[in-house]
């Protein structure tokens, strides 16, 4: 077994603190990666706090992992030591269900194995994430980082990136379409970048003029202030697609009115019950309300390759591993533009 340095939370509301964990030896189809950067997702806070009632402690968060390959199993075909590689939210799935056979591992009908907090035969009984110095994973769940990409801005592509790219591709967003991205944060800023790069007329729908100015720098063609009901109402019936990144329960009513007939709003931010949904808006406008969860391995690789072609990276603030608890506090106050990334060299 390999003992490595990591940071974990030992119980609900506990501080994330230094610890030592064990990783499995590199098997025949495994790849070992020395982690250079790990993005910080709001999901990490939910698991540390046990907000969803399913945390297994000690929990080592982190599912936006980028680093250098240090060892490969003898059956590994597509990676070698020294390659820049990445791991996102998944490290395994059943591989045989209808969804897995279609490359939709994120919707595995038998339950995918998450990068952290999932039951596993690994040491400790559960998967441990990227708040650590190294990780071992199956080759089939490891992603290749294009040579044209470098730096800490790669890491959030593995969650925030694919979470916004997947629905835009699924609904075939492109030139001639009008897309609204609701909310400018870790997800929303990537939604703006991808929608713009795909050729759609992209509108940022946000609460503040300051965020609107930022959105224009990220590629937004227009800005609509959701805090101005009259300005919002002027856009009713004009959008083909809305990407809703608001991370908490909220009233969907004003946003659904923005959709054209046959338009779709896809929710990617609020992983909880939405109490305000008026079915009449769907029925009388033949509108659709949908959701989307990350992407499969092939689609995530497609997203990384697209980012390599278009020179797309996340906007990040780099922190040391020992700054993670303060980063959590700032995230809860939306005091980051737009994603924290941990420099794991601070653990060596």
User: Is residue 346 pLDDT above 90, yes or no?
Assistant: no
In the prediction, which pLDDT does 318 show? 97
So what's the pLDDT on residue 275? 80
Higher-scoring residue by pLDDT: 343, 276: 343
Query: Residues 290-300: what's their mean pLDDT?
Result: 97
Q: Are residues 122 and 165 in the same domain?
A: no
- Quick one: what percent of the chain has pLDDT higher than 70? 100
Domain region containing 141: 2-158+315-347
Task: Clarify whether residues 153 and 14 are in a common domain.
Answer: yes
Is the confidence at residue 300, as pLDDT, over 60? yes
pLDDT tens per residue, range 118-134: 999 999 999 999 999 99
Segment 31-39 shows an average pLDDT of 98
If asked whether residues 280 and 322 sit together in one domain, one would say no
Q: What pLDDT, on the 0 to 100 scale, is given for residue 330?
A: 95
Write out the H or E segment, with its range, that includes residue 187. Answer: helix 186-197
pLDDT of res. 1: 55
Average pLDDT over residues 307-315: 97
Residue 32 in domain: yes
Do the domain assignments include residue 300? no
* Enclosing H/E stretch for 209: helix 209-218
Same domain assignment for residues 44 and 189: no
Tell me the average pLDDT across 255-281. Answer: 91
**Counting beta carbons within 10 angstroms of the beta carbon of residue 71, is it exposed (0 to 12), middle (13 to 18) or buried (19 or more)?**
middle
- Is residue 182 situated within a structural domain? yes
The verdict on residue 45 lying in a domain is yes
Quick check: is 127 in a domain? yes
For residue 44, the surrounding DSSP H or E stretch is helix 42-49
> Is the same domain home to 32 and 109?
yes
Counting the structural domains of the chain, the total is: 2
Span 257-272, average pLDDT? 93
Residue 138 shares a structural domain with residue 253? no
pLDDT digits (tens, 9 = 90+) for 189-223: 999 999 999 999 999 999 888 888 999 999 999 99
Same domain, 219 and 287: yes
Q: Supply the pTM of this predicted model.
A: 0.95
Same domain, 168 and 154: no
* Distance between CA atoms of residues 276 and 140, nearest Å: 40
The residue whose two tokens read 């224009």 is 216
Looking at the structure, do residues 131 and 221 belong to the same domain, yes or no?
no
Is 125 part of a structural domain of the chain? yes
CATH of the domain at 258: 3.40.50.720
284/39 Cα distance (integer angstroms): 42
Average pLDDT on 56-84 reads: 97
């Amino acid at each position: 077994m390999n003992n490595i340095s990591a940071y974990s939370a030992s119980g609900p509301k506990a501080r994330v603190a230094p610890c030592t964990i064990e990783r499995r030896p590199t098997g025949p189809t495994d790849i070992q990666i020395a982690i250079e950067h790990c993005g910080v997702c709001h999901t990490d806070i939910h698991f540390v706090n046990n907000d969803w009632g399913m945390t297994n402690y000690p929990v080592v968060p982190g599912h936006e992992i980028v680093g250098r390959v240090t060892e490969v199993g003898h059956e590994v075909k597509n990676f070698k030591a020294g390659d820049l590689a990445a791991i996102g939210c998944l490290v395994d799935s059943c591989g045989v269900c209808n969804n897995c056979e279609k490359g939709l591992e994120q919707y595995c009908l038998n339950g995918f194995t998450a990068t952290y907090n999932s039951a596993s035969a690994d040491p400790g009984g559960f998967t441990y994430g990227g708040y650590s110095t190294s990780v071992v994973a199956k080759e089939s769940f490891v992603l290749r980082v294009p040579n044209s990409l470098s730096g800490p801005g790669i890491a959030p592509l593995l969650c925030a990136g694919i979470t916004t790219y997947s629905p835009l591709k699924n609904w075939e967003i492109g030139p001639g379409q009008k897309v609204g991205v609701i909310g400018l944060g870790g997800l929303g800023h990537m939604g703006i970048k991808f929608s713009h790069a795909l050729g759609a007329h992209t509108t940022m729908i946000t609460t503040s003029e300051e965020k609107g100015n930022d959105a224009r720098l990220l590629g937004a063609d227009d800005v609509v202030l959701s805090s101005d009901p009259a300005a919002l109402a002027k856009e009713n019936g004009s959008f083909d697609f809305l990407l809703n990144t608001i991370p908490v329960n909220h009233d969907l009513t004003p946003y659904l009115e923005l959709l054209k007939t046959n338009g779709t709003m896809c929710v990617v931010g609020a992983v909880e019950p939405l109490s305000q949904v008026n079915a009449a808006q769907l029925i009388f406008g033949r509108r659709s309300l949908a959701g989307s969860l990350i992407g499969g391995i092939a689609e995530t690789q497609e997203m990384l390759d697209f980012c390599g072609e278009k020179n797309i990276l996340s906007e990040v603030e780099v922190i040391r591993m020992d700054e993670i608890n303060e980063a959590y506090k700032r995230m809860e106050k939306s005091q980051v533009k737009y994603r924290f990334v941990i420099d794991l060299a601070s653990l060596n």
